[in-house]
A and B are shown apart, each in its own frame.
Chain A
């Protein structure tokens, strides 16, 4: 896959930029009403829609705080079991020592094309129970669409204690959906 179709350029030329800057200044000068989504309150998801997006999403983007206070991030697989979200962090990921030190996280669930996204801020708890470990791996693998054979391979290769299951404990939700945008 290429980033730009042949013959197409994503980057604007200086002439194009100048043209659209001028158009913008005209619109602003005329006080033309424009469509913007600066106030996001109208585009939020309700609680059911939020969990639906979290459950239907394929993986999520987990962020944490490094020792020097800078943000870290990784893409992880997840599952929703008994009403709670669990994430699988792979062996060797920088997230593991960081989260053992500071459990604060921010997790983005992307609903896909034209759906929206949910961000959950909160903390995580490491889950050591072997049954929970297996249950989360099975659920996450099936959500991902792994075949029975692939899932069996995944389970056999899994290393409890080195791969970690994180239980997400939400404190705050930020949601946004494109579905509620009405352009007029």
Chain B
């Protein structure tokens, strides 16, 4: 039953006694072996394994795209994506901060997480924005077919891509960094 109380922290998951115990153990233990809990790969094959696994459930597990801001900082947003003929595509519209930023500086990073959340890949590269009807519609069809996690016919929902200023964004990879359990 919903008690109505929102759990908005993880404080309840940890007791001070166990923190004390682990701090003492870590301080008394000899330095452990170099066994990182994750290994890192720059092999595109490992990256595509993660991307393809995340891909069918784009609605649940999209990715975050990051771009440089005008002041030299960074911004990012959660976006759905579709892999079309081996290329990663997403979308944006005129008037959004990320659109202006991408038109100004095409460098971007795309972080994609596998469905089991044990592996992730970051794709580094550049974006290319296209607002021609063919590219936008091609993305809309691909995205619509899998957005619920199951293949479905393209229906009236595709009109949500009709807005003027809609761009299809093609991601051009240059480097992959994939993290997976060692």
A182 within 8 A of B: no
A167 within 8 A of B: no
Q: Judge whether B84 and A11 touch: CB under 8 Å.
A: yes
Q: Judge whether B40 and A92 touch: CB under 8 Å.
A: yes
Question: At the interface, is chain A mostly helix, strand, loop or mixed?
Answer: mixed
Q: Judge whether A106 and B66 touch: CB under 8 Å.
A: yes
Q: Can you list 28 pairs linking A and B with CB atoms under 8 Å apart?
A: A10-B83, A20-B137, A20-B154, A34-B162, A35-B160, A36-B162, A59-B113, A63-B76, A64-B74, A65-B72, A70-B68, A70-B124, A71-B66, A73-B122, A74-B120, A74-B122, A81-B11, A82-B9, A83-B9, A112-B60, A119-B76, A121-B73, A121-B75, A134-B26, A138-B18, A142-B10, A155-B25, A159-B32
Q: Judge whether B62 and A110 touch: CB under 8 Å.
A: yes
- The distance in angstroms between the C-alpha atoms of A181 and B124, with both chains bound, is 32
Q: Judge whether B78 and A11 touch: CB under 8 Å.
A: no
A56 surroundings in chain B (CB, below 8 A): 7
Q: Judge whether A27 and B159 touch: CB under 8 Å.
A: yes
Q: Judge whether A92 and B36 touch: CB under 8 Å.
A: yes
Chain B contact residues, CB within 8 Å of chain A: 6-11, 13-14, 18-19, 22-23, 25-27, 29, 31-32, 35-38, 40, 52-53, 55-57, 59-64, 66-68, 72-78, 82-85, 93, 95, 107-111, 113, 115, 117, 120, 122, 124, 133-134, 137-138, 140-142, 145-146, 149, 151, 154, 157-160, 162-163, 177, 179
- The distance in angstroms between the C-alpha atoms of A25 and B160, with both chains bound, is 14
Given A63-B64, A110-B61, the answer on whether A38 and B82 have CB atoms closer than 8 Å is: no
Contact of B76 among A52, A79, A108, A135 (CB under 8 A): A108
Given A12-B141, A38-B95, A142-B14, the answer on whether A75 and B76 have CB atoms closer than 8 Å is: no
Q: Judge whether A36 and B163 touch: CB under 8 Å.
A: yes
Q: Judge whether B76 and A17 touch: CB under 8 Å.
A: no
Q: What's the nearest-Cβ distance from chain A to residue B144, in Å?
A: 10
- With contacts A8-B151, A74-B179 known, what are 9 further pairs, Cβ within 8 A? A3-B56, A20-B140, A61-B63, A70-B109, A72-B124, A73-B64, A81-B14, A121-B73, A156-B25
Q: Judge whether A1 and B56 touch: CB under 8 Å.
A: yes
B32 surroundings in chain A (CB, below 8 A): 156-157, 159
Q: What's the nearest-Cβ distance from chain A to residue B122, in Å?
A: 5
Report the nearest A residue to B63, measured CB to CB: A61
Q: What's the nearest-Cβ distance from chain B to residue A63, in Å?
A: 4
